[in-house]
């Protein structure tokens, strides 16, 4: 089936998620429309069942990402992605505000997720947008750990003794591969790019309870099957930026992420990507335009450029964008 071309840049209504650990930064700093004191996540682009993103302006206002995929197919996502994923959008894009520590957790890879949940696995990356003084994340172990050592610490509720605490500041970036134990620490706000999956295996939740005294479910057996005990893989991303030049951050089978500090007007060519391209504004503001339309996006806003648009112009004086494609 031949799909007609989609020539408009798309912007979606954020889907805000209340969380036990959420705060007010998404509203106060990123201008998300909610006075709720516990908003933990803003889903910027989502094809998760029950949480389909809806276009918020222009000729496709009110259409869901799922409807657009069915209508435009490879002209939205690119030929190779359409062959690989069909009418499923492969990425979930978020901003996260941790007022309190998130649970210590990990995610399954594609093989386990397919077998157990009929889902994609969850490899993700974090880019720190803002961090309070002395904020940190948990990522990986602080020593060589095997299954026996791990299970002993889980049983004794002493797992934090073997976890690696990493201090973070604005601009730090981490690659969180499936199976890697991790937690976002309190005081951290970040941009998250991940496979379209909402599967999390919690192993420790700081013994907290909700307003009714209930603890959140833990998933010890599932986590044990999915966990990666090796610490050889590098998870902190090293990158160097030059004004108006794309700098590589992460390149994996699930997504490629570059960063660009926009200090003037420049043209970006997407022709070789054969993919949609997502731009997340993580600092300042930037105007992104195609032949058909343009958006000025501020820190905390996101747009989706369909695969059928080969060139966009970006302009700004002190803006910083993450560029994501598959």
DSSP result, 275-314: S-EEEEEEESEEEEE-SS-EEEEETT-EEEE-TT--EEEE
Q: How many CB atoms lie within 10 A of CB 252?
A: 12
**For the chain, how many residues are written?**
326
Report the distance separating Cα 91 and Cα 12, nearest Å.
14
Report the distance separating Cα 46 and Cα 31, nearest Å.
19
Select which of 84, 202, 208, 216 is catalytic.
202
Question: Is 202 a catalytic site residue?
Answer: yes
DSSP helix/strand/coil, 10: strand
Place of tokens 């590098």: 234
DSSP tag of 216: P
CA–centroid distance for 152 within its chain: 32
CA–centroid distance for 102 within its chain: 15
Rg over CA atoms, the chain: 20
Residues annotated as catalytic (active site), given as ranges: 202
């Amino acid at each position: 089936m031949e799909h007609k071309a989609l020539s408009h840049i798309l912007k979606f209504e954020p889907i805000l998620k209340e969380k036990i650990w959420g705060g007010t930064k998404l509203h106060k700093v990123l201008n998300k429309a909610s006075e709720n004191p516990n908003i933990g996540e803003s889903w910027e682009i989502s094809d998760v069942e029950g949480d389909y993103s809806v276009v918020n302006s222009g000729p496709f206002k009110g259409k869901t990402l799922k409807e657009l995929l069915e209508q435009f197919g490879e002209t939205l996502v690119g030929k190779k992605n359409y062959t690989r994923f069909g009418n499923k959008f492969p990425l979930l894009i978020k901003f996260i505000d941790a007022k309190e520590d998130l649970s210590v957790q990990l995610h399954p890879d594609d093989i386990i997720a397919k077998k157990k949940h009929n889902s994609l696995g969850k490899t993700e990356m974090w880019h720190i947008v803002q961090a309070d003084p002395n904020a940190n994340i948990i990522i990986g172990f602080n020593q060589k750990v095997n299954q026996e050592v791990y299970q002993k610490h889980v049983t004794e509720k002493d797992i934090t003794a073997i976890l690696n605490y990493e201090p973070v500041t604005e601009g730090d970036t981490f690659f969180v591969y499936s199976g890697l134990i991790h937690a976002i620490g309190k005081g951290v706000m970040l941009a998250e790019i991940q496979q379209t999956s909402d599967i999390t295996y919690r192993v420790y939740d700081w013994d907290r309870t909700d307003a009714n005294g209930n603890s959140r479910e833990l998933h010890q057996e599932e986590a044990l099957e999915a966990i990666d005990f090796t610490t050889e893989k590098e998870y902190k991303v090293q990158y160097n930026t030059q004004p108006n030049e794309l700098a590589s951050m992460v390149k994996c089978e699930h997504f490629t992420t570059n960063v660009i500090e926009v200090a003037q007007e420049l043209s970006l060519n997407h022709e070789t990507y054969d993919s949609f391209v997502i731009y997340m504004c993580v600092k300042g503001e930037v105007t992104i335009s195609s032949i058909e339309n343009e958006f000025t996006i501020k820190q905390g806003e996101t747009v989706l450029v369909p695969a059928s648009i080969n060139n966009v112009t970006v302009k700004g004086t002190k803006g910083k964008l993450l560029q994501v494609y598959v």
